[in-house]
C-alpha cells in the first residue's frame, strides 16, 4: 500500500501541499515544546536540559519502529522509500558547520526559523548568517563542487553500511536510546548539583 504517492494512493499533485501541512505541524510542535528558545536548545551542550535529545531520539525511534513494523505487516514497502544520497565529505563538513553553529547560537536551521516566526532577534541574526553562507556557497560553487560531490556512496542507509539486518538495527538503536536517556539524566543531575 505505502508509500502513498509513489503507489498512486494519493495523487502526486498533493506532494507540495502535504509537505507544507507537515511543515506547519512540525513548526507548531517545535514552538509548543519550547524549542524556539536558544537557552533550551543549548542546554544539551551544557548539561542542564536534555529535552531536545530526548524528543528527537524518541521521534527517530518511534519512526523507525513504525516504518519497519508497517513493512513487516505489508502496509509499507521500505524498498520504495526515498533514501537521501550520501556524499562523505559534504556530510562531514556540513555536520561540522552546523554543529558549531548550533553550539554557538543555540539554534539548528529548523528551530531558528521557528524562532524567527515569533520575532526573536537572535534567531533573525542566525538566519541572516545562514543566508550569507548560502550566498557565499552558491557564488563559489565551482570551488566547492569537488568537495560537495566527492566520495559519493550512493543511496545507502545505516544498516546497509553496517551490513546488519534492519530488525537488529532497530533493536540496537533502541538500546542506544535507552542508554542515552539514562546518561543524560545522570549528567543533568550532576550539573544541577554543581550549578544550583
CA angle 192, 193, 196 (to 5 degrees): 65
pLDDT at residue 36, rounded to an integer = 85
In degrees and rounded to multiples of 5, residue 57 shows phi and psi of -65, -45
Q: Report yes or no on 136 lying in a domain.
A: yes
Helix axes of 51-73 and 166-195: crossing angle, nearest 10 degrees = 170
Q: Report yes or no on 184 lying in a domain.
A: yes
pLDDT at residue 43, rounded to an integer = 83
Q: Report yes or no on 151 lying in a domain.
A: yes
Instruction: Answer yes or no: do 65 and 94 share one domain.
Output: no
| pLDDT tens-digit readout, 86-141 | 999 989 999 999 889 888 888 888 889 889 988 999 999 999 999 999 999 999 99
**Which residue bears the cell 543511496?**
155
Q: Report yes or no on 22 lying in a domain.
A: yes
Instruction: Answer yes or no: do 14 and 64 share one domain.
Output: yes
Instruction: Answer yes or no: do 66 and 115 share one domain.
Output: no
Tally of domains in the chain? 2
Q: Report yes or no on 63 lying in a domain.
A: yes
Helix (H) or strand (E) holding 167: helix 166-195
Domain span at 111: 84-155
Q: Report yes or no on 161 lying in a domain.
A: no
Instruction: Answer yes or no: do 145 and 178 share one domain.
Output: no
pLDDT at residue 11, rounded to an integer = 85
pLDDT at residue 53, rounded to an integer = 87
pLDDT at residue 176, rounded to an integer = 93
Among 31-45, 56-70, 106-120, 171-185, the least confident range: 31-45
Instruction: Answer yes or no: do 39 and 71 share one domain.
Output: yes
Helix axes of 88-105 and 141-148: crossing angle, nearest 10 degrees = 110
Instruction: Answer yes or no: do 4 and 69 share one domain.
Output: yes
Please report, to the nearest 10 degrees, the dihedral formed by the alpha carbons of residues 110, 112, 118, 119 taken in order: -150
pLDDT for residue 1 is more than 70: no
pLDDT at residue 128, rounded to an integer = 94
pTM of the model: 0.75
Confidence of residue 196 (pLDDT cuts 50, 70, 90): low
pLDDT for residue 74 is more than 90: no
Query: 83 Cβ partners below 8 Å, 6+ apart?
Result: 155, 156, 157
Helix axes of 141-148 and 121-139: crossing angle, nearest 10 degrees = 90
Confidence of residue 30 (pLDDT cuts 50, 70, 90): confident
Q: Report yes or no on 160 lying in a domain.
A: no
Instruction: Answer yes or no: do 73 and 142 share one domain.
Output: no
Q: Report yes or no on 34 lying in a domain.
A: yes
| pLDDT tens-digit readout, 141-190 | 999 999 888 889 888 888 888 888 888 989 999 999 999 999 998 888 88
Confidence of residue 81 (pLDDT cuts 50, 70, 90): confident
Q: Give the count of beta carbons closer than 10 Å to the beta carbon of residue 147.
A: 13
Q: Do 82 and 15 touch, CB atoms closer than 8 A?
A: no
DSSP codes of every residue in 5-46: TTTTSS-GGGHHHHHHHHHHHHHHHHHHTTTT-HHHHHHHHH
Instruction: Answer yes or no: do 4 and 54 share one domain.
Output: yes
Instruction: Answer yes or no: do 13 and 69 share one domain.
Output: yes
Instruction: Answer yes or no: do 113 and 96 share one domain.
Output: yes
pLDDT at residue 163, rounded to an integer = 87
Instruction: Answer yes or no: do 7 and 18 share one domain.
Output: yes
Amino acid at each position: 500500500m505505502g508509500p502513498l504517492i509513489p503507489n498512486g494512493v494519493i495523487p502526486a499533485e498533493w506532494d507540495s501541499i502535504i509537505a507544507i501541512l507537515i511543515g506547519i505541524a512540525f513548526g507548531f510542535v517545535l514552538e509548543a515544546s519550547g524549542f524556539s528558545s536558544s537557552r533550551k536548545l543549548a542546554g544539551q551542550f551544557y548539561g542542564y536540559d536534555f529535552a531536545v535529545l530526548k524528543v528527537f531520539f524518541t521521534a527517530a525511534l518511534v519512526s523507525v519502529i513504525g516504518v519497519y513494523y508497517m513493512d513487516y505487516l505489508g502496509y509499507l514497502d521500505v524498498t520504495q522509500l526515498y533514501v537521501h544520497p550520501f556524499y562523505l565529505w559534504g556530510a562531514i563538513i556540513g555536520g561540522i558547520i552546523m554543529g558549531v553553529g548550533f553550539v554557538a547560537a543555540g539554534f539548528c536551521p529548523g528551530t531558528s526559523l521557528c524562532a524567527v516566526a515569533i520575532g526573536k532577534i537572535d534567531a533573525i541574526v542566525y538566519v541572516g548568517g545562514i543566508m550569507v553562507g548560502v550566498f557565499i556557497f552558491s557564488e563559489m560553487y565551482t570551488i566547492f563542487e569537488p568537495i560537495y560531490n566527492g566520495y559519493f556512496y550512493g543511496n545507502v542507509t545505516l544498516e546497509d553500511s553496517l551490513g546488519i539486518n534492519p530488525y537488529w538495527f532497530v533493536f540496537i538503536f533502541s538500546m542506544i536510546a535507552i542508554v542515552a536517556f539514562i546518561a543524560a539524566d545522570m549528567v543533568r543531575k550532576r550539573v544541577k548539583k554543581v550549578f544550583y
